[in-house]
Amino acid sequence: MTELNRLTHKKLTSLFNTEEIFIKSINTPGTEHSTIPPVDEHYVFRPDVLNALLLYLADPINDCLYLSGPSGCGKTSLILQVAARLNWGVEQLTLSGHSESQDLIGHNTLQEGRLVFVYGPLVRAMQQGEILILNELDMMSPSDLSALNDVIEGRSLTITAHDGEVITPHPLFRVVATANTKGMGDRMGFYNGARMQNQAFLDRWRFVEVDYPEAKEEREVLRCKCQRLPAAIIDKLLQLALELRRVSTEQLQDEGQDPQEDLSRYQLSAPFSTRVLVRIGAMMLQCANVSAEKVVDMAFASRLPQIEREYVKRLCLDIFGYSKKRTRSALG
Ligand SMILES: Nc1ncnc2c1ncn2[C@@H]1O[C@H](COP(=O)(O)OP(=O)(O)OP(=O)(O)O)[C@@H](O)[C@H]1O
Ligand SMILES: [Mg+2]
- Same domain flag for 35 and 168: yes
Q: How far is the CA of 275 from the centre of ligand 1 (A)?
A: 5
- Same domain flag for 203 and 220: no
Q: How many domains does the chain have?
A: 2
- Same domain flag for 315 and 186: no
Q: How far is the CA of 174 from the centre of ligand 1 (A)?
A: 21
- Same domain flag for 203 and 223: no
Which of 209, 228, 259 is where one domain is finished?
209
Q: Which of 319, 297, 188 is nearest to 248 (CA)?
A: 188
Q: How far is the CA of 78 from the centre of ligand 1 (A)?
A: 7
Q: How far is the CA of 288 from the centre of ligand 2 (A)?
A: 31
Ligand 1 pocket list (CB less than 6 A): 43-44, 46, 69, 71-77, 135, 178, 180, 221, 225, 274-275, 278
- Same domain flag for 238 and 196: no
Atom 16 of ligand 1 has which residue's CA nearest to it?
Answer: 74
- Same domain flag for 76 and 140: yes
- Same domain flag for 226 and 201: no
The pLDDT tens digits of the residues spanning 287-321 come to 988 999 999 999 999 999 999 999 999 999 999 98
Which of 182, 209, 236 is where one domain is finished?
209
Q: SS3 of 153, please?
A: coil
HEC per residue, 263-292: HHHCCCCCCCCHHHHHHHHHHHHHCCCCEH
Domain that residue 248 falls in: 215-331
> How far is residue 185's CA from residue 124's CA, in Å, rounded to a whole number?
30
> How far is residue 332's CA from residue 288's CA, in Å, rounded to a whole number?
11
pLDDT at position 261 is: 52
Atom 25 of ligand 1 has which residue's CA nearest to it?
Answer: 71
- For residue 230, CA distances in Å to 7, 234, 289 come to 37, 6, 16
- Same domain flag for 204 and 223: no
Q: How far is the CA of 109 from the centre of ligand 1 (A)?
A: 35
pLDDT at position 254 is: 47
| DSSP state letters, 206-252 | EEEE--SPPHHHHHHHHHHHSTTS-HHHHHHHHHHHHHHHH--HHHH
> How far is residue 89's CA from residue 12's CA, in Å, rounded to a whole number?
18
pLDDT at position 329 is: 45
Q: How far is the CA of 276 from the centre of ligand 1 (A)?
A: 9
> How far is residue 222's CA from residue 235's CA, in Å, rounded to a whole number?
10
The pLDDT tens digits of the residues spanning 128-153 come to 999 999 999 999 998 889 878 888 88
Q: Are 206 and 64 in contact (CB under 8 A)?
A: yes
Who's near 176: CB < 8 A, 6+ residues apart?
53, 56, 64, 65, 66, 67, 79, 131, 132, 133, 134
With the most atoms of ligand 1 within 8 angstroms of its CB, the residue from 68, 71, 77, 182 to mutate is: 77
- For residue 23, CA distances in Å to 58, 61, 86 come to 8, 14, 14
- Same domain flag for 17 and 131: yes
pLDDT at position 130 is: 98
Q: Are 117 and 162 in contact (CB under 8 A)?
A: yes
Atom 15 of ligand 1 has which residue's CA nearest to it?
Answer: 74
Which of 175, 209, 243 is where one domain is finished?
209
Which atom of ligand 1 lies nearest, measured to the CA of 70? 25
- Same domain flag for 37 and 8: yes
pTM: predicted TM-score of the whole model, two decimal places: 0.90
Q: SS3 of 4, please?
A: strand
> Which numbered ligand comes closest to the C-alpha of 82?
1
Axis-axis angle for helices 231-246, 292-299 (nearest 10): 50
Report, as ranges of residue numbers, the positions in the chain whose pLDDT lies below 70: 1, 187-189, 247-267, 322-332
- Same domain flag for 34 and 183: yes
Angle made by CA atoms 265, 271, 274, in degrees to the nearest 5: 120
State the CATH number of the domain containing residue 186: 3.40.50.300
- Same domain flag for 125 and 61: yes
